Structure formats: C-alpha cells, structure tokens
Amino acid sequence: MVTINNIHIELRAAIEPWNVLGEEMTGGGTARYVDSSLERIQIKVTNFTEERYVVTCNGVKVNLKATSVKGEFVAGIRYKAWDPYSALHPTIGVDSPLVFDIVDTWNKRSIGGCTYFVSHPGGRSYDVHPVNSYEAESRRINRFWESGHTQGEIDPIKETITDDNTSSITVKKKGSSKKFNYKELPVNFEFPNTTDLRKK
C-alpha cells in the first residue's frame, strides 16, 4: 500500500485461470502444458477523484469501477508475467515490472506511483519456503517499491513560433524531461472491470 496526496493504492494478488494447451511431444511421451505466463493483480484506490485523476499501469489507463464507498474504486489487471517456451501468445512481450502512476489530468503530469515486480528485482531465486511470516513479508517488500513512477509532462508543450511570413504552432521538445503519454484500451464487455495489458 502506498499513499500519494492522500490517495491510497492497494495491490493484491488475484486469481487468474490458466489455459491448458494442446498436446506436445516430450522426452517421455505426450504432454499437455499449462500456460502459466498470465497473472492478475487487483488494485484498490481510495480517496480518489475520478474527474481529476487517472490511474495508469505501464502507460495504459486502468478501467476503475466505483464501489459503494465514496471515493473507492477497484479494478483487475491481467498481464504477462514471464515468457515460457510453451505459451498461448509467444510473440507478446513480458509486462513485468508493473509501473503504476496516478496522473493529474488538470496539471498534466504524474504525481506519484509505485512499482510491482513479479519476482525478486535482482533475479534472486529462493530454494525453500519462508520460515516464518517475517521472512515472507521481507520477500513481498522486495517485490514492491514505493517509487519508480513515470516522470514528465503528459502532453508536449505547444509554443507559437512567429516567422517573417507566417505564424505557426509547433511542438518544442524540452531536453530535460520525458514525455508521458498514456493510452486507453477499449473496454472488453466480457470482463469490463479488467484491464488486459496484452492488448496494448
């Protein structure tokens, strides 16, 4: 959980059903693999004003659904966590890490966010299960950073340049800042509350 300008973001693991693939030949005979590359995460945002702010994940607007509590919104995010050799969509890239931003549309910039890693960001692989709750908590903390949001303006700055003959509007790039443009995906009517990052 992270708090930015009194807006609380809470991330939780969600259930994602895995598809069973077709039969493939292996060293021991025939097998049917499971596509375990997809995962889903639930995001809950409180003290949120949807008229002003937008939540994005990896540059894609998250379709938030209002709950019965004022200022509380939830959504699901489906993403490709890793790239196994046998998967449904082998040409789609991995979406990890997930960078969440709270975008202020009035001031046209991201005011903060967080980063979620599927596994240890340093590439560490654990051989044993956690001994107790403290070790499990430290493993979770390693995968969640309260920083790493996208910086810079949303839209390019428009400046009017006057020529001798004509006046025109051009876009002048500032060398010190990144340009941040988020995209909106069409709503999937089968899963209207889930944003699928594979379609970006």
Q: What is the pLDDT of residue 4?
A: 87
Cβ 198 vs Cβ 79: under 8 Å: yes
Looking at residue 158, what is its pLDDT?
45
d(CA 127, CA 135): 13
pLDDT over 90 for what percent of the chain? 30
In percent, the amount of the chain with pLDDT more than 70 equals 86
Q: Identify the H or E element spanning 134.
A: helix 133-143
Look at residue 179 in the predicted model and tell me its pLDDT. 59
Residue 161 pLDDT exceeds 80 = no
Residue 199 is given by DSSP the state G
Contact 61, 184 (CB under 8 A): yes
d(CA 62, CA 11): 13
Strand partners, 194: 76
List strand residue ranges (DSSP E) for 36-130, in order: 38-46, 53-57, 60-61, 65-66, 73-80, 98-104, 109-116
List, for residues 118-145, the tens digit of each pLDDT value.
Answer: 888 877 878 889 899 998 888 888 888 8
Residue 159 is predicted with a pLDDT of 45
Asked if residue 100 lies in contact with residue 143, where contact means CB atoms within 8 angstroms, the answer is no
pTM of the model: 0.78
Give the model confidence (pLDDT) of 78-122 as tens digits: 999 988 888 888 888 898 899 999 998 888 888 888 999 988 887
